[in-house]
Amino acid sequence: KTTGSFPTILVRTIYGRGSNIGLAGLGIDIPYARFAERGYHVIVQTTRGQFDSGGDFRPVFHETEDGLDTIAWIEEQPWFNGNLGMWGPSYLSHTQWAVAARAPTSLKAIMPAVISSDMYELFYTDGILNLEIDLRWMMILAGMRAMSPRGKRKNVSLLNPAHQKRLLNQVVASPLDSADTIVVGETVPHFQESLRHPDSNSPYWQSIQFRSSLPKVIASTYLLSGWYDMSLGGLLKDYVALRSAGHTPYLTIGPWHHLDMGYTNETLREGLTWFESRLKGNHHNLRKKPVRIYLMGTNEWIETDDWPPAYTPTPYYLHPSGKLNPHQPVGSRSKHLHVRSYEPHPGFRWGASQLGWRLQRSAHNRIPPGRAYIHIAPLGKRSKCHWSCPGSSLRSFIP
């Protein structure tokens, strides 16, 4: 122990503390120890209904109330110096968003990573249920609880990806509302609730989305994600909402997915720098430009003042030959597509088992109905592409 005045880092987690999970969970505490070594009080709190925390687990619903109560308790402690930060990726970031707009001024900085402020976007994508992601998350939680001293030891196998795959194959041939019973052996209330509320505008989801309140956030915000992360789109919406409200959030996007150790290391490394700046006033290691982006395929990082960076649009036109170029076509010939919406493009997966980059060349040896491959000559410089054809989508590949 050291005497002196130190800021505080609060982490609110559904995944337990190392001691909750036994020897297998000791690694969970490593990031917290790094903060403590750098001169922070670190408080790690297990959220309601998980492990040794009382109450019923209902994702996000109690995080605002419980989080604000926790901050109020911290402010009463004699060792608190008035400077508080919140840290943690994925669901741990939901606990940050849950309090950010209503927190007292003592909350100086937050760092949400690989998640958005809208829980609906985790369970559904464009209104389509993310069944695999939902069920794997369910199995991970049950498997981690099984490792605790009072856990059901048989459920430890739920952490095995091969066992998860076998269970998911059983789900395919069963009624959807029985999926939770198949994979974890019991009814999971929050899964059943999500099935009953497929509409993002329902009061159920609106009560646990925080994007509409982002303009009220006063804590300095650092957002981090990866190009392959399933929540990247929502996180960028959060960035836009903060920018539109006049804030200057920091943003990092790297070549990572949701279970990638690369983003885990980056979140800790950047978190140490972020809180050193925002809670201690030491800015020497904080980059000058707020946005840092990894350019896929170049192994290069760029830093800019905003995202997307300023650009000059250049229109390219689709020609009957199936090629794009900047010259408007002459004549009225066109290319027609007969689309079958129930046939997905081969090779594209957005589930938890297919995260990260994949070689997809074999998927393009045939052209299925409703698909067309359009070729474009080398652009000669870095470009960002936008597709202006309503009702269709654009995917780009480098041969």
Instruction: Write phi, then psi, for 366 (nearest 5 degrees).
Output: -135, 155
Q: Is residue 1 part of a domain?
A: no
Which of 203, 222, 250 marks a domain boundary? 203
Q: Is residue 26 part of a domain?
A: yes
Shared domain check, 318 and 364: yes
- Sign of the CA dihedral running 131, 133, 138, 142: positive
pLDDT in tens, the chain (399 residues): 667 789 999 999 998 887 666 555 556 788 999 999 999 999 999 999 988 888 999 999 999 999 999 999 999 999 999 999 999 999 999 999 999 999 999 999 999 999 999 999 989 987 888 888 888 888 888 888 776 655 555 666 766 777 777 787 788 778 889 999 988 889 999 999 999 999 999 999 999 999 999 999 999 999 999 999 989 999 999 999 999 999 999 999 999 988 888 888 999 999 999 999 999 999 999 999 999 999 988 889 999 999 988 777 778 777 776 677 788 877 655 555 544 433 444 433 445 555 666 555 555 555 555 455 666 677 766 666 666 665 555 555 555
Shared domain check, 193 and 267: no
Domain count, the chain: 3
CATH of the domain at 219: 3.40.50.1820
Which residue range is the domain that position 214 belongs to?
6-117+209-304
Shared domain check, 139 and 110: no
Shared domain check, 113 and 10: yes
Nearest to 313 by CA among 263, 388, 363: 388
pLDDT value, residue 120: 94
Shared domain check, 323 and 254: no
Nearest to 348 by CA among 397, 286, 300: 397
Shared domain check, 224 and 91: yes
Q: Is residue 226 part of a domain?
A: yes
pLDDT value, residue 183: 87
Which of 304, 322, 345 marks a domain boundary? 304
d(CA 179, CA 204): 21
Shared domain check, 21 and 148: no
d(CA 229, CA 294): 14
Which of 154, 181, 203 marks a domain boundary? 203
Shared domain check, 381 and 268: no
Shared domain check, 191 and 298: no
Q: Is residue 140 part of a domain?
A: yes
pLDDT value, residue 368: 53
User: Concatenated DSSP letters for 96-144?
Assistant: HHHHHTT--TTEEEEEEES--SBTHHHHEETTEE-HHHHHHHHHHHHHH
Residue 123 CB contacts under 8 Å (≥ 6 apart), including other chains: 129, 130, 133, 134, 194
Shared domain check, 392 and 319: yes
Shared domain check, 282 and 243: yes
